[in-house]
Chains A and B, each alone.
Chain A
Amino acid sequence: MVIDFKCPQCGGGMEYDSELGKLQCRSCQFEQAVEDAPEIEEEEIVQELFDGSTIPDESEFSNEVEEKETSVYEEEQEFMCESCGAAIVTEPEVSATHCPYCGSAVAFGERLQGKLAPDKVIPFTVSKEEAKAGFRKWAKNGLLTPKDFMTEKRLGEIIGIYVPFWLYDMNVNAEADCNCTKKRSYRRGDYIIHETKYYHVYRRANLNFKKVPADASVKLDDAMMDLLEPYDYRRLRKFEPGYLAGFQAEKYGVDAEGLLPRIKERVNGYAQSYLKSTIKGYSTTTYNNQNSVEEKQQEYYTLLPVWLLTYEYKGEKMLYAMNGQTGKVVGTPPVSWGRVAKWISILYGGSFALLTLLAYFLV
């Protein structure tokens, strides 16, 4: 089932506007609240499931067939654009996109319902123009970044995408047991007294971490997505398909359980550093034992806004990402050897001149 976002007034295509926080018609500027936009209708889903045309009914196939069918499903799928009737072929993880023929925003109901229904979403607050300006400014601020990097032409290719994340509420019970010393030295007559006091130190903490994110997209690099953090959760909204209008969206590729080990490791690190911060006033600390039990309390399937830019610079393809809410840019910009040479000469010349002057005035 394809959801398209049609203007109730003129029938034109509507898109989510990050400034208004509403859907706006591209033709007549009509504004519509996200909640009023088309919903995924349960009946239609059931109907399509019954047809078996889009998602195979698992019970009817033997394991072998099921595997085969699933793999077909994983490759690509065809949808029909409700605006122009063209067939939209998409990669399996895409849950919202533009029709390549008529440009209208479409969302795919099957990939947004049931187990795949997102709980929450943070809508884009950085518009496409702001994102372009952000990338340009970031490139300009780089001390070693070439001048011709981030040209207007290439910047036109940025894509606003809702990346699937799992947000976890975690409870951690952590303990640390260690031996600590306090050292001091003082003089008594002709002797220096070295005094070492030994302590046995124990700490236990119960810590709650709220909405620790982990990206569930298979395609995007985990480390890159981690660097995009933090998102401001005050703008976390209940998911409505209308938010996706005009952007791309992906469905999760790894489920909540699959990402749990990564999150456990992460909150364990947080807990240990918290405990460490409570052991103060000692000269040395030696850990005997560090334990922690991490428990998942709740998870939220959430779509977070990211501007993605694949940039080809001198034959090398690079991926840059921007937090669609805060504007933080992530990625390694290319290094301009001309600029490196410039900085080397500045640093060398500067320190050479300084030393020379110093030597001259002090001789």
Chain B
Amino acid sequence: MKKMRVCRLFAGIGMLLLLTVGFFPCESVRADQETGEVTLESDWVTLTPEDSEEAPVVPEEDWEDPYAAEHARAAQILADNLSATGMTLNGEQRIYDFYGKFSEEEQEEISNWIIAQELKGNISIRVFVAEMNAEDEKYFLEECTDALCDNGYAKEDMAIMLLNLDAYNRGVCIQGYGLCEIQINDDRIEYMLDDIIEWFLADDYVYGVKLFAQEAAYYMTVEEMVPSLPTDTTRPVGGTTYVPYYKDNSFKGKMSRMPWTMIVIVPVLVAGIGIFLMVNNNGSKKTTTDKTYMENDTSGLTAQRDDYIRTSVSKSYSPRSSGSSGSSRSSGGRSSGGGGRSGGGRSHSGGSRRF
């Protein structure tokens, strides 16, 4: 009897261990990140264009750009940045740091990480770091995409991110092209922003960028919740809108970063506190109250006074907020941007947020 119980206990612990080790794709990638090693997980499903029922949108011949002026301005920003830093767009570089935010080592670390993620998701991932006005971000990324894809420097299936470090317009903008437009749709970009922004706010830019690449690759492999066919085409310019799969995912970002130590330590605390309470309550409790022996009929107040004396008033200045919740993350509120179409006619999903 006792032996059986012990056996059951061990079997249970064994199963739990299996559960935790087996089902943590994000966690296992993160472990790699700490050692600097990049490995391909066998449980990652790579998605080829044939898998998708809808072929990616390709530039059309008769495409007339309604945002030609914006695109021209964005092209100018890209050109200015390239000339100022002496960089040129190429097929090798994953991160274009026009701002000079990352050191060479950091850039190498990020690049290696991105290359690994690209393999997992079978997509291209590019990151730009620059300064500009918030309204230019979207068009800037569209211009970058056209410039990269037209020259064959990147795949048509591309996730691209702009980290805008302008002092007054600090923000992130993410866009997905080709297959990424379907897999990394607007809703998923919102989730990604939820996660990534936290790291930028915590001043860990390297990890934030890496997390973007990781989640982009991850979403390429997650089929569920992405409708196979676009069902709504109400988006004003190009692209497609998908049935939103709003699902309360507000814990997701936190959980994917839930450290192993937490999964181990929290149960220790639960068990410790639980046992402490049980041992402490192991005795008899008082079952009389203050009223047990009081004779209600003959007991009561004989005098009571509540004399008002004075009122003191102080006031503090607190301007009414204009509705936005500042830098706090909001999964519910859609951030600016959304999808659109590049000057070259490439349709994309997108989202951006200030931080």
State the A residues within 8 Å of B (CB): 142-145, 175, 180, 187-188, 190-212, 226-227, 229-230, 267, 269-270, 273-274, 278, 328-333, 335, 340, 343-345, 347-353, 355-360, 362-363
Contacts and interface: CB of A to CB of B under 8 A. Distances in A.
A359 B16 CA distance: 13
Given A273-B290, A351-B270, A199 B279 contact: no
Given A190-B318, A351-B267, A362-B249, A207 B258 contact: no
B316 interface: yes
A347 B275 contact: yes
B226 to A, nearest CB: 17
Given A347-B270, A351-B267, A210 B295 contact: yes
Contacts of B313: 193-196
Given A343-B274, A347-B271, A352-B267, A278 B20 contact: no
A206 to B, nearest CB: 5
B216 to A, nearest CB: 15
19 contacts: A191-B318, A195-B313, A196-B312, A200-B306, A200-B307, A201-B304, A201-B305, A201-B306, A208-B294, A209-B293, A210-B294, A274-B294, A278-B301, A344-B275, A347-B270, A348-B271, A356-B23, A358-B251, A358-B255
B24 A229 contact: no
B299 A206 contact: yes
Given A347-B270, A357-B19, A358-B255, A270 B290 contact: yes
Interface of B: 9, 12-13, 16, 19-20, 23-27, 249, 251-252, 255-256, 258, 262-264, 266-268, 270-271, 274-275, 278-279, 282-288, 290-295, 298-320
Q: Dominant SS at the A interface?
A: mixed
A227 B9 CA distance: 39
A227 B274 contact: no
Contacts of A273: 290
Contacts of B20: 356, 359
Contacts of A362: 249, 251-252, 255-256
Given A270-B290, A331-B284, A353 B16 contact: yes
Residue among B264, B267, B291 with the highest chain A CB neighbour number at 10 A: B267
A227 B286 contact: yes
B191 to A, nearest CB: 11
Contacts of A335: 279, 282
B295 A192 contact: no
A274 B296 CA distance: 12
A329 B283 CA distance: 9
Contacts of A330: 284
Given A208-B298, A351-B267, A355-B266, 7 more contacts: A192-B318, A194-B315, A199-B306, A210-B294, A227-B284, A329-B284, A352-B263
Contact of B271 (A190, A191, A332, A351): A351
Contact of B293 (A143, A210, A332, A358): A210
A269 B294 CA distance: 12
B297 to A, nearest CB: 8
